[in-house]
Structure 1
Amino acid sequence: MIEEIDSATFTKHYFEKVFREVSSDAEAFLAAALDFVRQESSFFAQPGAAAAVQRLAERCLQGPAAAAQAGTSAAQPAAAPPAVPTAAPQPQQQAALPGAAAVQQQEEQQPEAVQQDQAAAEGAAGADAAEEASPSTIKPNAGNGADLPGYSWTQSLAEVVLTVPVPPGTKGRSCDVAIGRDKLRVGLKGQPPVLDGPLFASVKPDDCLWNLVDGRQLEVTLAKRDGMQWWRCVVAGEPEIDTQSVEPEASKLTDLDPEMRATVEKMMYDQRQKAMGLPTSDEQRKADIMKQFMAAHPEMDFSNAKIEM
């Protein structure tokens, strides 16, 4: 059961979490607070909002100094009362202005550098929030796919196999499976589909199939149209795997024809070389050709030659 909380409790918990994470960085905490206010309200759209925030910050920073000064003043003898002024002091006149007009007047007097610093802080906070919201890849399972809450999937270069748990005793007529060239829907009739959306890549619908395994699992086999591509997910928008960590089992390579197997082995080799920061097979082949050419033409000077592999 999910407990409902009011907005005040949510805000309190949010700022407690932010303070625990960035308490050592006052600027980061302030940027997060301002970004929260910007997202949850239209405060900064009002005239003079930036000046109001600046005054509040200055008041908080000057608080300890003002308190100390007040204590020192209290220890000294009271000064004689000044003569009765002929006109009201300037601060009182400014306070008598309407709230919005006074704030706008002070915003116009605000230094341009302060406004630029505040805009930069808000932009940095927004960029950090966008970066945190961005999805990250997950490590592939043993079948070069992923094990997710509602389903799991594996893949080879030729096909993708999707497995969806269903209630025991489920019949084929209760299943809702639609496989298109670029779309897929998998689920049970009368219930929200487990997967419904555009496929990561195109498939061959005529070569795809689905069946029930022991009345407990719905298994869907998708034949890839491009047999040289590793899928990051089954349906767009689902969690993606890190294809750099995908390594096909050696036993499955024997099922491929010689030409396809050679291509796959070359891809695996190049992938490992790149991961270690070493030249790929193509780069090595070009380097060997250049060495042979240089050996065959010792009369040529290659010391200042710029050669791109």
Structure 2
Amino acid sequence: MKRLGLIAGIALVVMVAGALYMGSLYLGAATIKQETSFIIPDGASVTSVARDLEEQGHIASADGFIMNARLFGSSEPIKAGEFELKPEMSQGDILALFQSGDVVRRFVTIPEGMPSILVAERLMAEEFLTGEVDVPLEGSVLPDTYSYVRGQSRASLVEQMQAAMDEYLAEAWANRKPDIAVDTLKEALILASIVEKETGKPSERRMIAGLYSNRLKTGMMLQADPTIIYPITQGKPLGRRIRQSEIASVNGYNTYTRTGLPEGPITNPGRESIAAVLNPEATDALFMVADGTGGHEFNTTISGHQEAVERWYQLRRERGEM
């Protein structure tokens, strides 16, 4: 009996030692040589993932990984996606990462004032997105930086951008000031798109919104150059001076030949331009012209405006632009 007990004790020690050894292998370093991405497709099992890890040289044995995962890993399922593996990770760390769903997130930025045709082109240039995408409705995308995961569809990312715009518009509209020049969210979006294209200086947005609000309220034409360009390029840079024939063109966008707002937005305005339209500067200004610094000079009278225009022309002549 003593001998049987001794044998049983030895066997138990061997089993415990073996388990500890297996555990130490599992908790020890894997064979990842450098930071690398690893992709788990939808529906993958621990077994198939272990085989892929072995084939790619990240672990020594798929069978060992599977056994140790069953003995020492948690019961959480692994998640699909792209994961970042690092040299210092143990096999246990790898499994925990896959179970956490902490996937690699990538980013795409839509700057303020980017027209929808360029939004579509930017998304099509993102190699880790999938599927085709149509040009979104102009003004429907909120400029911002968006994260996505490898394999995500372009269409789903556009939906995310449009949902962000809808949410912001609703919030901003609820906080609008009384007696503004626009009566609907669509009108606010259209005017904001003009404000966005008219200045590169954030500090001018409310002033320009105030000027155009004054023009709308008095029935003056907006005479905003970007509205001439939009039907020609769909918002892309014109790359040359506007022609007289284009200034005189009659269409749904040209605010030199129509009163009121264009029939639709001419770009995707950012939050600040939308906010400026809904809370414009209190001003009597009706005219503006570039001042050579990237900003504008504002005037309340046509005579003051004409003097400002002449100063702008003189500056352009000195620069050799005219």
Instruction: Answer with 1 or 2: which has the greater Rg.
Output: 1
The structure with higher relative contact order (CA 8 Å, sep 6+) is 2
> Scaled by the length of structure 1, what TM-score is found?
0.26
> Scaled by the length of structure 2, what TM-score is found?
0.25
